[in-house]
Structure 1
Amino acid sequence: MLAKLFDLFSAQRAPAGYRPGVTLELLRRNLGIHRFHLAETGRAEFDLGATGLRVQVSERTQAQLLMHLVMTEFRLQVPAFEQGNVHFDLHHTGSLKRTGIRCRYRSGDRTLFEAVSKRLLGDARLSAALMPLDFKHLSIEYALNGWTVTLEHMGGSEVVNRMPAFRRYVKFSSEQKVLLEHTLTALQRVLLAR
Structure 2
Amino acid sequence: MILLGSTGSIGVNTLEVAKKFSISVEMLVAGNNIDLLNSQIKEHHPKTVVVANKEDVYKVNHPHVFYGQEAILDVIKNSSSELVVNALVGFLGLRPTLTALECKKRVALANKESLVACGAFIDTAKIQPIDSEHFGLWYLMQNRPIEKMIITASGGAFRDWEINKLQNATLADTQKHPNWSMGQKITIDSATMVNKI
TM range (shorter): under 0.3
TM-score normalised according to structure 1 size: 0.21
Q: Which has the higher strand share?
A: 1
Q: Which has the higher helix share?
A: 2
